[in-house]
Amino acid sequence: MSDHYQTLGVDRDASPEDIKKAYRKLARKLHPDVSPGQEDEFKKVAHAYDVLADPAKRRNYDMGGGENGNGFGAGGFGGQSFGFGDIFDSFFGGQGGGASQGPASRTQRGQDALLRLGIELKTAVFGSTERIEIDTAVLCTTCKGACTQPGTSPKTCEICHGSGHVQRVARTLLGQVMTTAPCNVCRGFGTTIPSPCVDCQGEGRVRQRRTLTIKVPAGVDTGTRIQLGGQGEVGPAGGPPGDIYVEIDVQRHETFTRKGDDLHCTLEVPVTAAALGVNLPLETLDGEQKLDLQPGSQNGDVITLRDLGVGRLRAGGRGDLKVELHVVTPTSLSEEQADLLRQLAALRGETAPEAKLSSSGNKMFSKLRDRFAGR
């Protein structure tokens, strides 16, 4: 009784890929068209590969089963597959494997689709339910995906006799060999449709306008994709539908800008309000809020309103709303207003101010640090 591992010239712990490589090398060398008179050796190699390429047969063979790998002892080559699909793989790069696979199925999965949805910033902050209309392929209600006119059915192809493939003899450097290719009459399906459905022209699907409901979660941003599983087009012959991916495009807001989960805006305040302090109404995406402006507020100060930012997509909760102050200095004063400011300057001892730089760099650094920290 021959040892299959020795026949292929591989170790007993060889990987499936090593076994396949060894088999292909020997198959090319021993093929009858290349080496006449080596038919027995060729069959021996093919049989060894048939056993060792099958995990179950190989496991049984390694445990002491017969040379067929089935545990019934030596049984010659009767009823065994010689792996001719792999032989064709060796010579023709997989052309011969199609015949053993049978006819192709008309039923195929539908393609995925990518749509773009423009939303307002407020929708990104709070989330919403949106509706969009698309033109896509749906199941034909006349034939229910059978592709045939009701009352009729596909017929076996007269050319390939239902196999979906035809064989041809080709002349190569190795001599005459048999090649396999899809049947050009039935297109590899093994059947033809003499009476295709008049509504879908034998496709099993038709174009139709649909309305989709999309749940947009809070926290989405431009570029976020939402997957709608099974909402894409139906495949040929009523195949399963593909998926739809909705890519979000958040439109710019005239007041608020987004940075991560926070919203930012700039608030202009008069110099008097900044000096004296005031409680101001501020219109936000959550409605009107009260903004407490402390006396002595400076240009560039940032006031943080907690939990008024964008909803967090995965972590939950919300970011903050950061309001940066822009203190507006008046550029046109009446004589009365100018006189009042001169009186204020006199009271504050600022009638002859001197231009001087701050003597403490630490104060400037501290202010910048506080601004970046949102204090």
CATH architecture of 113-143+201-250: Sandwich (2.60)
> Beta 244-250 vs 113-119: how paired, if at all?
parallel
| CATH T-level assignment (fold) for domain 4-94 | Helix Hairpins (1.10.287)
Q: CB of 110 within 8 A of CB of 244?
A: no
Binding site as annotated, residues: 140, 143, 157, 160, 183, 186, 197, 200
Instruction: Give per-residue pLDDT as tens, 64-82.
Output: 655 555 544 433 333 333 4
Domains 113-143+201-250 and 257-372 share a fold: yes
> What are the structural domain ranges in the chain?
4-94, 113-143+201-250, 257-372
- Residue 118: the pLDDT is 96
- Residue 43: the pLDDT is 84
- Residue 75: the pLDDT is 37
Binding site as annotated, residues for Zn(2+): 140, 143, 157, 160, 183, 186, 197, 200
DSSP string, 311-334: BPTTT-SB--EEEEEEEEPPS---
Tally helices (H) and strands (E) across the chain. Answer: 10, 15
- Residues in the chain with pLDDT values less than 70: 1-2, 32-33, 64-101, 172-175, 352-375
In angstroms, the CA 328 to CA 271 distance is 6
- Residue 345: the pLDDT is 86
By CB atoms closer than 10 A (0-12, 13-18, 19+), residue 157 is buried
Q: Nearest-CA neighbor of 236 among 130, 346, 111?
A: 111
- Residue 66: the pLDDT is 58
**CATH (residue range 257-372):** 2.60.260.20
Q: CB of 49 within 8 A of CB of 83?
A: yes
Q: Nearest-CA neighbor of 149 among 158, 162, 140, 159?
A: 140
DSSP string, 236-268: GGGBPP--EEEEEEEPP-SS-EEETTEEEEEEE
